[in-house]
Amino acid sequence: MSPVMALTRASPPTGSPSTWPHILASEVGAQENRDVTQLTSKVNRGVSFFRQQVKAAVEGRHDPVFRHMLTLRPSCRLAVRRSRRPVATFVLASAAAVASHHNSQLSPATLHVAADGIAVSSGGLGGVLENIYVASFWPLLAVTCALGWQTRPTSDAKQFPTGFSQFQMRYLFVWFLAITADWLQGPYVYELYASYGYSKADIARLFVAGFGSSMITGTFIGSVADAWGRKFCSVLYCVLYAAACVTKHVNTYSVLMVGRLLGGAATSLLFSTFECWMVGEHRRCGFSDDLLRYMFGLMFFVQYLAAIGAGLLAQFAASAAPLTQASESVWYGGAITPFDVSLVFLVVAIPCICSMWKENYGESSEGASGGAGLAQIAASLQAGWRAISSNYQVPLLGLAVAAFESSMYAFVFNWTPALDSGSATTPPHGLIFSAFMMACMCGSSLFSLLDTAVQPAKVLIPICLCAAASLGLVAASLYTTYSEMTIFLGFLAFEACVGAYFPCVSTVKSAVVPEEARAGVYNVYRVPLNLCVVLLLLADLELKESFALCSGLLVFAMVAITVHQILSLADALEQEVAGTVADVGGAAQVSPIRLQGPQASIVSAHAAMIAVGSAALPLGGSSPAVTFRLCRFL
């Protein structure tokens, strides 16, 4: 009789397992002590046999004789093997497999997140929520198409100069290939690392490496592209990103870290050199600035369309084949497949760039040496620090940018485990990513539909408020009763705010930051942004704490923008009142004293109003409106 049959032949005795031999001995009598000893030996062998089966299940080895034993998918085996709480993780895997009778749907991210302290909801809810993901996709797609059609870039093709249509197609086709390759990797980055069995803290370090590489190289990559050539650096982007995709097949932490570093540097090249090449080629061909704005509109329109399509393509690719181990550390299929599709796009883009583009350089960088490039970067940073120290509006805007965008980077890291943590099945990450991109496009389109008379800085305040409320709703759901639908809707609202934020804040920065110090100021803005991102990701916070902190950062961003608006209004009122005083002539002989600081602005404007009133002279033009606005402000 097998050990398993010996254990299951009869109903188990009551009491602790350690007392079973004594109970059995009392039942069969002293004359059967020999049988009890034999049974005890079989019990021990049965326990040993069970341990071996558990080990075999974790390692993927199964005995065909005992088909009833638990089997685990490769990603779940890795999750059990590398989890900080392997016993709890294995119990969760076993329970989910028994409950659903289909353990292949179990999410590896769910395993290690749940084992680290987040409760997992019942498996039956997963299918319902997946239907909700699908059901919400189509109305969101309809709204996105309607808004996209209303805000699409338009121009009269009959008025295009000679060669513009060819230039437009050459750039947009390559841009579509390059940006699609980037978006394809977004939905399954976290899922892939979780499938390999790494903990949340390990994955956070990988994300920080990628973000850090992108942000550090972004400070000088523009100057490098100007000196080396934009076409060459575009090809370099494809090569670096292709190498990063290849590293995803290797389940070795150091190799994955190298891939993140390469991917971060490639991302900096993507969002600098391609745009610079387009602007340089546009001006070399002598096209107008109106057509340049039209090209920018097409560029971002194609980017959003590529992001939506990339999410759907990534979902299809990841579902095509399961994650399979080819050797000890090499894997293929599953969450790796979207990276393979991205690799195909990158390989196709390289010959297209080489054959369709001409090389161009920065105007001040042709023939420049490496030392001159470093001197240019240093001079740019010095100009940025001077601009920040001389105008209070610049650092206030920088704090708002750091707070908002660090919350966005934390969201990029946390959205996958937040949706996985409450589902016993793997959510459709590609479909969810497409929904996020559609919400982002809707937000951008809504901002474009606003009246041009509305100041963008005023729009930033409700954007930050809505973003804070969205992530606050997510945090509240994680703190109380977990609701995957609430979290998903909160994420959609946040992405819509992100879509409206970027064109809005770009307009504000273009008005506040001096042109001669623009590059330096933008690089200085990266310092607090990098610090916030590193602290948020490496702090190893629970999901509910992380989203609550992000919501607080967004409230801080709203406060910074509000203070910026108040001080800007005070300065504007001071200048308007000073102009009114100058218009009344020399009767009052009063001009406000220019003091330093926001309080001085208010005091000087108030003193000017009193002086004008004491002159007892009629004020013409806009003076009553100025007096009313100033009194309301004070």
Give the model confidence (pLDDT) of 492-521 as tens digits. Answer: 999 999 999 988 888 888 788 876 677 667
Task: Give CA–CA dist 499/252, Å, rounded.
Answer: 36
By CB atoms closer than 10 A (0-12, 13-18, 19+), residue 589 is exposed
Distance (Å, rounded) from C-alpha 231 to C-alpha 314?
A: 28
DSSP string for 40-65 = HHHHHHHHHHHHHHHHHHHHT---TT
Q: What is the pLDDT of residues 422-470, one digit of tens each?
A: 766 778 899 999 999 999 999 999 988 887 778 888 899 999 999 999 9
DSSP 324: E
Alpha-carbon dihedral sign for residues 322, 323, 326, 327:
negative
Q: What is residue 237's predicted lDDT score, i.e. its pLDDT?
A: 95
pLDDT tens track for 148-196: 888 888 776 667 888 888 999 999 999 999 999 999 999 999 999 999 9
pLDDT band of 381, cuts 50, 70, 90: low
Q: Does domain 177-382 have CATH number 2.60.120.560?
A: no
Q: Which of 258-267, 296-305, 354-363, 444-453 has the highest mean pLDDT?
A: 258-267
How far, in Å, CA of 591 to CA of 459, rounded?
34
Predicted pLDDT at 581:
63
Element (H, E) at 193: helix 189-195
Can you say how many angstroms the Cα of residue 479 is from the centroid of all Cα atoms in its chain?
A: 22
Cα–Cα distance list, 237 to 188, 244, 303, 363, 381 (Å): 21, 11, 17, 22, 25
Token couple for 278: 């387009």
- Dihedral of CA atoms 118, 120, 125, 129 in degrees, nearest 10, equals 40
What is the pLDDT confidence band of residue 128, given thresholds at 50, 70 and 90? very low
- Once rounded to an integer, what is the mean pLDDT over residues 109-136? 51
pLDDT band at 255 (very low <50, low <70, confident <90, very high): very high
Provide φ and ψ at 576, rounded to 5°: -70, -40
Show me where the domains of the chain are located.
1-69, 177-382, 568-633
Give the pLDDT score at 15. Answer: 52
**pTM for the full model?**
0.70
Cβ–Cβ < 8 Å for 161, 138: no
Structure tokens at 554: 């967004």
Give pLDDT, residue 133.
Answer: 86
Q: What is the mean pLDDT of residues 330-353?
A: 95
Helix axes 518-538, 370-390, angle to 10 degrees: 80
Q: What is the pLDDT of residue 623?
A: 39
Percent with pLDDT over 90 in the chain: 36
- Tell me the three state secondary structure of residue 230: helix
Question: Could you tell me how far CA 507 lies from the centroid of its own chain?
Answer: 22
Q: Give the chain's radius of gyration (CA, Å).
A: 31
Residue 626 and residue 576 in contact, taking contact as beta carbons nearer than 8 Å:
yes
CA distance 435 to 491: 10
Note whether 345 and 184 are within 8 A (CB): yes
pLDDT tens for residues 206-231? 999 998 888 888 877 877 887 888 89
The chain-wide mean pLDDT, for the chain, equals 76
